[in-house]
Structure 1
Amino acid sequence: LRDGARVLVPVHPWQAAHVLKQSYGAGPAAHPLMSLRTLAMPGSVHVKTALSARLTSSVRDISVASIAASADLSSFGARFAARLDGLLHVTRTLGAATAHSPDLAAVLREAPEVYASPGEHVVPVAALATTGLPRSAAWLAAFARLALTVGLRALELGVALEAHGQNLLVVLSATGDPLRLVYRDLADIRVSPARLARHGLAAHGLPARVLTDEPLALRRKLFGSLVGGALAATAGSGPALRRALDAAVPELPRT
């Protein structure tokens, strides 16, 4: 976003009033998404704004380092997703800016809906429980199979996704079948340079904090978020999750 030569940094209204404590000109019309600080704007664009308040486990500002790494992470996301045969899309970062402060920064990303074909729709995994779809044991097993296939294949390549219910979205057919996944916000993934190298991928430009070849750290990142978070919440109970995993795991690809 620019005004002539000036870069415009989108600011959340709460941040302007309570942290920056000054008024700003009105920006484009937008509405908040599940994460509160991320806003949907016209033109299939989402903007993640700095919100210097503790929401769930963390203060949701945006570090200067995250802004600096955003372009390299976005490019990397496209490269590794291309290895997954169309089962995973990673939303691209369209731009990022900071006023050299975590309190005044923003990231513009593609809206996940751009990866839906006509008749399909995209749903955050955290919202699946409201749809009634997970009440079908067959549907839940199919979704678990898709999510685990993508997660394990990415892990084999060297990428451990933080696949919780807000970062992970599912593309559904017109009849509700889970077809493929969309992932947004690569800031907290973990990447194994050694595994990447075995598959002809490079970790050049990625921030040091996301790099690790420690298998336990990679597995904890993926399974803690995907199984303990996204799949468990979608299933709604331990027995339902167990049944879905029992049905899905035997059909997973060997990795």
Structure 2
Amino acid sequence: MDFTFENELNDKIALVTGGSKGAGKAIADRLQKAGATVIITARNKPENETNGIHFLSADLSKPDGTQKVVDEIVEKFGRLDILINNMGGSETPGGGFAVLSDEDWESTFQTNLLAPVRLDRGFLPGMIERREGVIIHIASIQAKLPLYDSTLPYAAAKAALVNYSKSLSQEVAPNGVRVLTVSPGWIMTTASSRMMERIAERSGGTTEQATNSVMKALGGIPFGRPAWPEEVAELVGFLVSPRAAYLTGTEYVIDGGTIPTI
């Protein structure tokens, strides 16, 4: 069969967690355009729904939430071919180690590490039985470049996710299942744009100056700008496609050159 952008994921069923906005929404849209049946999860229903994309409301930071998603997808669709563990984030206070409670650490690890682990555990048996499937873990360059004063638990959780993803890939590759990690740098989502506007208002400068100040705080982005969500989505779209059939166990960094080391 000759694969094209429009049909290479025909007959595939894909789940994108945190798929209602930002990079998650871009990934969901990209997979649907390639022919996949796409399901997204989030706590709240998206403001702007995309026709043909199925929505499941769930709090994946709780075991009951992940089990609900597994059960409903298996019941309604019979299987899952592509799992994009995109949900993540940091809501802990800045200020370094001294201000962080056990609850801050636990909630961050539930969202950024244990939710993907539970979903993998729920869907992998079916993938292994069929001897096909792709799992993508969306991590972060903070796994290698942690910001100790603002997102210490998040960075630690993402580092654990990268390690877990590599180990899992080695376990399931003989069963025909591919596991990969995508680690973005700063992505210019709608939320990021609003943050730049707020910084500009407080400082009396422009949004361009605010963006440059944040890039400087990150150590600089050689490409000169953050990534667009669609650029991350394009990488994910390739990795889950038949064109990437021999790729597994690898971390793909998409950061505009932010990480300064090999």
Q: Does TM-score exceed 0.5, indicating one fold?
A: no
Higher percent of residues as strand: 1
Going by fraction, where is helix more abundant, 1 or 2?
2
